Amino acid sequence: MKTDFNHYLLDIPEETWAYEELAIDGGRAVLPREGRKTTFPNITKEDVLQMLISIQKQPEEVIQEFTDQYRQYVGANYAISTASGTSSLHLALIGAGIEPGDEVILPAFTFIATAQAVVAAKGIPIFADVDPQTYCLDVTQIEKLITPRTKVIMPVHVHGLPANIEAIQQICNQYQLKLVEDASHAHSASINGQLCGSLGDTAGQSLMADKNFPVGGEGGIAFFKKEEDYQRALNFLQDSGIDYDISWIAAAFGISQLERLPYYDAIRQRNAQHLIRTLNQTTLFQGPYIPEGYKHSFNMFRLQINVNLPAFAGIPPYQVKEAIQTILMEEGVFAREWQNVPIPRHLPFINQKGFGNQYPFSLYQEDELPYGLEHFPNTLEMLNTTLAICRELRSPVEYEKLLSYELAFKKLDQNIEKIATFARTLNVQPPYERDARLG
């Protein structure tokens, strides 16, 4: 029988392993190959039973049950479950009142769906650089991008860290703009206890299978603060004919998963905080920065590499990163680039084909959209000097596995000179000039 049950028993790692030979040099890997697999989402008997219950109900009833339960959990006033995160973002933008040719300010570092949702809403994406500490939308970049055509500011709670909503809301108030959250990484993330998805005028959130709160494969949900915005989104669905319905099967899976979300959140929080403490004790690494009062959901965990150590003098930072990624993977930790090109340099935004015949980009009133790499130095710096841990920390991993990850980082910290020597032998392109390197 095919199963995702993991039978492998991982040893509790010993601190002395950090002083052994690196796996890349022939030593023992901290995490053996058989122990590297992580399982998420966790699918249990409750999910199967919920499916058996839901199959006997009207599809609309199952979808509404899911929508209401999760809407209440988030603390939003109105919600529409959708087929995907992209469609939820599209509806959130429509609900906010975006019209063809309106400009939307969003970060250059996010998943492509954020920007494609703007194009789907027939808006013009205007990209801002990210904050060098949080990697979310840099608030100081926003005002200079505002024009008479600006309608929406669309922060992304990237990796699960809430964007600086208070500052962005102030700008929105000053210029009478709408705030639309991309909360796709930020399930249960919050600012002073208020959950992402309920912070802006509207919000979109992915519920696909690699999110902290996954429904059955593909799904999304749009949230609305005001009834008129919710109604505008519903009217759009009728007027455009587009079918964004979520499957009742996905919704049924969401109902049973929602009951376990607080547990998943708690164990992920425990693990991430533990890892941050360990990383911050090393010379080589630093964990993510989290402002006071902010709760990070750790859908991804981006760690910074101290590329300015004397041992790395004269080596391009991305080459140091490449060396560390290679050595870490040999030790059994899948450290990834995830996203390695600022969104405005993705092919759909270089070509600007849009819906065809350059629409809606053809509505842009200036000569050229500011999509060049030179506009996003903080994003490039981040891509050069950081790595992300994705599924490995998203899953509710066992304590012994967490300790193994930590030991691998400690092991690298003992081998800075070797890393520098290895990095000097590499000949790699900057991240944004090639495909992403996965773990």
Which residues between 88 and 127 bind other proteins (CB under 8 A)? Answer: 90, 112-113, 116, 119-120
Residue with tokens 């703009």: 177
CA torsion 52-53-55-59 (nearest 10°) is -150
427 contacts other proteins (rule: CB under 8 A) = no
69 contacts other proteins (rule: CB under 8 A) = no
Show the tokens assigned to 31. 């995490």
Choices 186-194, 249-257, 290-298, 373-381; region in contact with other proteins by CB under 8 A? 249-257
Binding mask 169-208 for other proteins (x = CB under 8 A): ---------------------------------------x
80 contacts other proteins (rule: CB under 8 A) = yes
What is the nearest approach in angstroms of other proteins to the Cβ of residue 217?
3
210 contacts other proteins (rule: CB under 8 A) = yes
What is the nearest approach in angstroms of other proteins to the Cβ of residue 346?
6
When binding is defined by CB under 8 A, the residue of 14, 21, 34, 68 that contacts other proteins is 68
Beta bridge partners of 130: 137
34 contacts other proteins (rule: CB under 8 A) = no
Choices 125-133, 145-153, 238-246, 323-331; region in contact with other proteins by CB under 8 A? 238-246
When binding is defined by CB under 8 A, the residue of 341, 380, 403, 423 that contacts other proteins is 341
Binding residues with other proteins: total (CB under 8 A):
78
33 contacts other proteins (rule: CB under 8 A) = no
Q: How far is CA 99 from CA 51, 81, 118, in A?
A: 40, 22, 10
48 contacts other proteins (rule: CB under 8 A) = yes
Rank residues 103 and 406 by Cβ distance to other proteins and give the closer one.
103
356 contacts other proteins (rule: CB under 8 A) = yes
357 contacts other proteins (rule: CB under 8 A) = yes
Beta bridge partners of 124: 103
Backbone phi, then psi, for 319, in 5-degree steps?
A: -75, -35
244 contacts other proteins (rule: CB under 8 A) = yes
When binding is defined by CB under 8 A, the residue of 238, 314, 366, 367 that contacts other proteins is 238
When binding is defined by CB under 8 A, the residue of 13, 85, 254, 317 that contacts other proteins is 85
Residue with tokens 């990163």: 321
216 contacts other proteins (rule: CB under 8 A) = yes
Show the tokens assigned to 175. 């210029």
Of 304, 264, 290, 269, nearest to 409 by C-alpha is: 304
Rank residues 175 and 236 by Cβ distance to other proteins and give the closer one.
236
The three-point CA angle 403-405-410 to 5° equals: 90
Rank residues 242 and 311 by Cβ distance to other proteins and give the closer one.
242
313 contacts other proteins (rule: CB under 8 A) = no
Choices 138-146, 283-291, 296-304, 430-438; region in contact with other proteins by CB under 8 A? 430-438
SS (H, E, C) the chain: CCCCCCCCCCCCCCHHHHHCCCHHHCCCCCCCHHHCCCCCCCCCHHHHHHHHHHCCCCHHHHHHHHHHHHHHHHCCCEEEEECCHHHHHHHHHHHCCCCCCCEEEEECCCCHHHHHHHHHCCCEEEEECECCCCCCECHHHCHHHCCCCEEEECCECHHHCCCCHHHHHHHHHHHCCEEEEECCCCCCCEECCEECCCCCCEEEEECCCCCCCCCCCCCEEEEECCHHHHHHHHHHHHHHCCCCCCCHHHHHHHHHHHHHHHHHHHHHHHHHHHHHHHHCCCCCEECCCCCCCEECCCCCEEEEECCCCHHHCCCCHHHHHHHHHHHHHHHCCCEECCCCCCHHHCHHHHHCCECCCCECHHHCCCCCCCCCHHHCHHHHHHHHHEEEECHHHHCCCCHHHHHHHHHHHHHHHCCHHHHHHHHHHCCCCCHHHCCCCCC
Choices 84-92, 134-142, 282-290, 372-380; region in contact with other proteins by CB under 8 A? 84-92
When binding is defined by CB under 8 A, the residue of 147, 174, 240, 308 that contacts other proteins is 240
Binding mask 274-293 for other proteins (x = CB under 8 A): --------------------
Rank residues 64 and 269 by Cβ distance to other proteins and give the closer one.
64
Choices 230-238, 284-292, 316-324, 396-404; region in contact with other proteins by CB under 8 A? 230-238
Choices 172-180, 264-272, 283-291, 347-355; region in contact with other proteins by CB under 8 A? 347-355
Stretch 146-165 residues interacting with other proteins (CB under 8 A)? none
What is the nearest approach in angstroms of other proteins to the Cβ of residue 38?
11
Choices 13-21, 51-59, 164-172, 320-328; region in contact with other proteins by CB under 8 A? 51-59
